[in-house]
Structures are given as C-alpha cells and as structure tokens.
C-alpha cells in the first residue's frame, strides 16, 4: 500500500455551512438522525511512541515536521469551542492526541474545561508513558477518567509495537497510579493485529480480570494512509470473544449509554467485563455521536475523514459565539458519514487524515 500522508498544513477546510434548519435546543441531529453527544479534542499531534498502526516510524521519522506551536489551538481557544459544543448538547469530552500528556500544562486545560463545563464527563486517552507522574495533578484539575493504550503484556511484542523501546512495566505503573488517584474506572485499549499481538488476547484478559479495569479489544482499522492496513490483518471481535470465552465464560450485556461504540461482555463469574470495538466487521456508523476537533482547529465528523472544517479561522477571525455555533450546527446537520458501512479495499487506500492528528 502506498503511504501517502496528508499534509494538514496544506489542506483547506471545507466551506462552513449555515444551518439547514433552525436549532432551538435539545438534541442536535445530523442527516441520519444521530445526535451530537461526544467531542474528542486532539491537543497535540506529537507522540513519543511510533506505534505501527498509528505513527509508523518509516513515515513519522526523526525528520517529521510536526505543527508549529502557533498553528495549534491555545487552551483558551479550545475551551471556547468546547463551551459552544456543550451548549449544543455535548455530554462527554475526551482529550486525545498524539499523546496528550506531552502538551505542556495539560492539567491547566483540564481545569479550564472543568470550570467551563462542570457537568461534562471529562476523560483522556494516553499511552501511559507519563501517567504515573501526572495522574494526581489531572485528578485534582477535574479529570474524571483515563483510557490507557496497551497493545501487549509481553515485553518483546510491546516494544515492537510501540517502536520506541518503551517497557510494559512503566505503562502498568501508570495504570496503577491513575487508579490510586481516583481516575477510574480505567479502560485499557488493545489494538489487535493478526500475527503481531493476537497471541496475547487471553493474557490481557487474564491480567485485568477482577481489577475493576475494563480491557477493550479494538479491531485494526484503516485510519489514515500509512499503517499498511489489510483485511487479512484484522482479527474480528467475534473471534476475540470466542478466544476469551474459551478460558473465561462470558455473556453479552447491554450498552451503558446511547452511541457506546464498544460491545460489552461480562464474565459469568462476576470478575468484571471486557469490551470489543468492531469498526471493521460490525460497523456502528448508524449510532455514532462523535465530533473531532483536531490539533489545528479543524472539525472532523468521521474518524476516516480526509477533510475537515476550519473552526480556527472563525475563532481567530473575530467571529462571535453565535457565528461559531451556527457553523457547528450547520456542519452537524449536514453530516451523513458512514465510512465503515461502505469500506472497500479501494476506500482503504484513499488518503485520510492520520489518527495522530485527528485523535483516536
């Protein structure tokens, strides 16, 4: 597969639409009747890992140019946009990256968001490398929970996947520090790639059974254009459940809230649960409630998008909150994304914005 990287500095945002119908409050619905409920905010495009499914080193090498600081949204700009989203019905905000804990003063951003939106569910996804040092400050600032990416427990596989020579033990220490700080329940995300780390599925389930943490097994996805995605590398979630249930009997349980992307399976002996995220084999486009604010202020309405909408120009161009609100309403009302429902080998090869920029 050709590794064509979209240079986000050269991509012009799509025209900002006006609302197609009046919005007077309540659920803001898109063209398929999906409500806006979740906002993911990528606070940096930088990461200290080079995970093979996200930022492969042969593309994101030492000479890769990340966004200059002046091109990324300031904390105050992020909070302003988030407040407008809150007024439009967003109930959950997740801070992502890149690696969000690399953004200097991230606890200050958490504090500002908590002050502006006291009722929102405020979470963060991290690779765990800096979590031990920052967990208490994040909790004190008002963060509710964390999700930690951990793709293997055996050392050789984990180091091969993160391609940064980073040890498993330090991520596990970060998880324990987050638990001690009260950033719970903790979700542990494992992206499963056949022939690479799928041998560790049962081991991962065993390690976190009974801890109160929830492992979520994620199908390898064709996000961006650089991870060499092939359907043959996907381990279907049904297979993950089957492998796990052979050792620890499981039973399906319902979603905790509308738009939850993970299918939930409970251990029959009461030792917790696992989740499976099946974007490839069981598309959940029809219930997707997520918008994504990228590092540079582009708004994306799908993880697999190639173009966004430039909200930064509005924010820095003197637009008031009413104009910003109208833009977001118009964008969401016109949203008709269903990429995972129509995925083909051809669409998988199309250039898309990378996960490290748009947030996972």
pLDDT, one tens digit per residue, over 266-308 is: 999 999 999 999 999 998 899 999 999 999 999 999 998 989 9
Which alpha helices (H) appear in the chain, and where do they start and end? 75-87, 106-116, 131-141, 155-162, 168-181, 201-208, 237-245, 311-316, 321-333, 339-342, 345-348, 355-358
Non-local (6+) Cβ contacts of 26 within 8 A are 89
Q: Give the pLDDT confidence of 5-14 residue by residue, as tens digits.
A: 555 555 556 7
| pLDDT given for residue 2 in this prediction | 43
In angstroms, rounded to a whole number, what is the distance separating the alpha carbons of residues 299 and 81?
10
Choose among 119, 114, 117, 121: nearest CA to 92: 121
In angstroms, rounded to a whole number, what is the distance separating the alpha carbons of residues 327 and 59?
34
Evaluate if pTM is beyond 0.85: yes
Every domain of the chain and the residues it spans: 38-358
Q: In the chain, which residues have pLDDT < 70?
A: 1-13, 360
In angstroms, rounded to a whole number, what is the distance separating the alpha carbons of residues 296 and 70?
9
| pLDDT given for residue 143 in this prediction | 98
| pLDDT given for residue 28 in this prediction | 97
Q: Give the pLDDT confidence of 239-268 residue by residue, as tens digits.
A: 999 999 999 999 999 988 877 889 999 999
| pLDDT given for residue 179 in this prediction | 98
| Nearest-10 Cα torsion for 286, 287, 289, 294 | -50
* CATH assignment, 38-358: 3.20.20.70
In angstroms, rounded to a whole number, what is the distance separating the alpha carbons of residues 359 and 326?
24
Number of C-beta neighbours around residue 342 at 10 A = 10
Non-local (6+) Cβ contacts of 10 within 8 A are none
| pLDDT given for residue 311 in this prediction | 97
């Amino acid at each position: 597969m050709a590794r064509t990287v979209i240079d986000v500095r050269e991509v012009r945002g799509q025209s900002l639409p006006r609302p197609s119908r009046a919005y007077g409050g309540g659920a803001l619905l898109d063209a398929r009747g999906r409500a806006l409920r979740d906002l993911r905010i990528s606070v940096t495009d930088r990461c200290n890992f080079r995970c093979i499914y996200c930022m492969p080193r042969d593309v994101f090498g030492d000479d890769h140019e990340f966004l200059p600081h002046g091109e990324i949204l300031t904390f105050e700009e992020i909070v302003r946009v988030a407040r407008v989203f809150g007024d439009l019905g967003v109930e959950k905000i997740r801070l992502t990256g890149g690696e969000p804990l690399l953004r200097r003063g991230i606890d200050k951003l958490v504090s500002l968001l908590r002050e502006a939106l006291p009722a929102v569910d405020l979470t963060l996804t991290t690779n765990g490398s800096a979590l031990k040092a920052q967990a208490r400050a994040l909790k004190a600032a008002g963060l509710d929970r964390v999700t930690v990416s951990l793709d293997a427990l055996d050392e050789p596989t984990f180091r091969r996947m993160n391609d940064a020579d980073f040890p498993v033990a330090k991520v596990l220490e970060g998880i324990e520090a987050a638990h001690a700080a009260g950033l719970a329940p903790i979700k542990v995300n494992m992206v499963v790639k056949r022939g690479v780390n799928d041998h560790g599925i049962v081991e991962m389930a065993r390690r976190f059974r009974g801890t109160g943490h929830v492992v979520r097994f994620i199908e390898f996805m064709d996000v961006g254009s650089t991870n060499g995605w092939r359907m043959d590398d996907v381990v279907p979630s049904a297979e993950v459940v089957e492998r796990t249930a052979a050792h620890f009997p499981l039973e399906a349980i319902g979603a905790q809230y509308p738009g939850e992307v993970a299918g939930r399976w409970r251990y029959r002996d009461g030792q917790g649960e696992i989740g499976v995220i099946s974007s490839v084999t069981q598309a959940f486009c029809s219930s997707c409630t997520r918008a994504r604010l990228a590092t540079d202020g582009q708004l994306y309405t799908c993880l697999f998008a190639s173009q966004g909408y430039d909200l930064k120009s509005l924010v820095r161009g003197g637009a008031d909150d009413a104009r910003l609100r109208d833009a977001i309403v118009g964008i969401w009302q016109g949203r008709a994304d269903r990429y995972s429902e129509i995925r083909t080998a051809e669409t998988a090869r199309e250039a898309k914005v990378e996960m490290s920029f748009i947030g996972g």
